[in-house]
Amino acid sequence: MITLTVPIFYPIVAAQGFDLIWFGIYVVIVTEVSYITPPVGLNAFVLKSVVKDVQLGAIFRGLVAFLAVDVLRVALILAFPLIVLLVPNMM
């Protein structure tokens, strides 16, 4: 999905004047969030296949804390892009 959407949004983001390093990091972080949330939830399904005696619902309930931290991380990156751009701007 990233292969399809990033080439479409890349010129739009560049034309709007956003930093492209920030955009790349944002895409990676949002992709990480998609690995723990339904309907994709790939990491949850892998964990279910490894630990067969745990219900899938219990796995997703356990992921809620991680999802909350990830949502906070995305919100901080959206609100304060300097968090992401501090090290690249020092180079």
Range of the domain at 26: 2-90
Task: Give me the pLDDT at residue 15, please.
Answer: 97
State the Cα–Cα distance between residues 51 and 62, nearest whole angstrom. Answer: 14
State the Cα–Cα distance between residues 56 and 45, nearest whole angstrom. Answer: 8
Question: DSSP secondary structure string, 61-79?
Answer: HHTHHHHHHHHHHHHHHHH
How many Cβ atoms sit within 10 Å of the Cβ of residue 16?
Answer: 8
Helix then strand count (H, E) for the chain reads: 6, 0
pLDDT in tens, 45-66: 999 999 999 999 999 999 999 9
pLDDT of 88 > 90? The answer is no
**The total number of structural domains that make up the chain:** 1
Model's pTM, two decimal places? 0.82
